């Protein structure tokens, strides 16, 4: 039988290591912070067409936080890939003129559905399997249409 070796760390060191390991493992999880009340985390911003055109004023988040238009424009150009961003632009009477999303590419669920239904490239005459294709917006992505191409 193997002889048991006593841990040379103090109790405080063992406690610290345990807490450090728990925090590190928690932060490494990819599923934390991806949903809120069952919905994917999304940034929803609203601004007026006048503020956007003037590059001045404020945008509001769904929670009511004010965001300067300059920050909105910076965020629109440099948002993280895993953050779904929706922008609602209203007229001066708060009637929506535009509601747009930040991504033009298919999300994971859409890709999996296309893999399962099309089994490969849908370009006429192409025989590439789904694993060798990309989802492209051959037709306008704002119409929610996607098509495989190699």
Sheet containing 96-101: give its strands across.
66-68, 58-61, 42-48, 84-90, 96-101
State the alpha helices, DSSP H only, in the chain.
11-28, 49-54, 69-78, 108-118
Domain boundary among 62, 82, 101: 101
Question: Rounded to whole angstroms, how far apart are CA atoms 89 and 97?
Answer: 6
Residue range(s) defining the domain that contains residue 41: 35-101
Q: Answer whether residue 144 is part of any domain.
A: yes
pLDDT attached to residue 9: 92
pLDDT attached to residue 11: 93
pLDDT confidence bin for 26, thresholds 50/70/90: confident
Q: Answer whether residue 138 is part of any domain.
A: yes
Tell whether 96 and 75 lie within a shared domain.
Answer: yes
pLDDT confidence bin for 15, thresholds 50/70/90: very high
Q: Answer whether residue 4 is part of any domain.
A: no
Contacts of 18 (CB under 8 A, 6+ apart): none
Q: Answer whether residue 53 is part of any domain.
A: yes
CA distances from 100 to 4, 85, 113 (A): 63, 8, 23
Question: Rounded to whole angstroms, how far apart are CA atoms 62 and 43?
Answer: 8
Q: Answer whether residue 43 is part of any domain.
A: yes
Tell whether 136 and 81 lie within a shared domain.
Answer: no
Q: Is the pLDDT of residue 126 over 80?
A: yes
Dihedral in degrees, nearest 10, Cα atoms 52, 53, 57, 58:
0
CB 67 within 8 A of CB 60: yes
């Amino acid at each position: 039988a193997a002889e048991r070796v006593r841990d040379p760390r103090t109790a405080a060191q063992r406690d610290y290591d345990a807490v450090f390991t728990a925090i590190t493992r928690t932060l490494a999880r990819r599923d934390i912070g991806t949903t809120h009340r069952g919905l994917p985390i999304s940034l929803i911003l609203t601004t007026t067409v006048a503020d956007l055109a003037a590059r001045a004023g404020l945008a509001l988040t769904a929670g009511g936080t004010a965001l300067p238009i300059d920050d909105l424009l910076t965020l629109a150009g440099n948002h993280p890939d895993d953050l779904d961003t929706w922008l609602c632009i209203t007229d001066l009477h708060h009637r929506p003129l535009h509601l747009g999303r930040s991504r033009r590419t298919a999300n994971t669920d859409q890709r999996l559905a296309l893999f399962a239904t099309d089994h490969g490239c849908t370009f006429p005459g192409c025989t590439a399997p789904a694993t060798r294709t990309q989802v492209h917006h051959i037709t306008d992505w704002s119409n929610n249409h996607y098509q495989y191409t190699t």
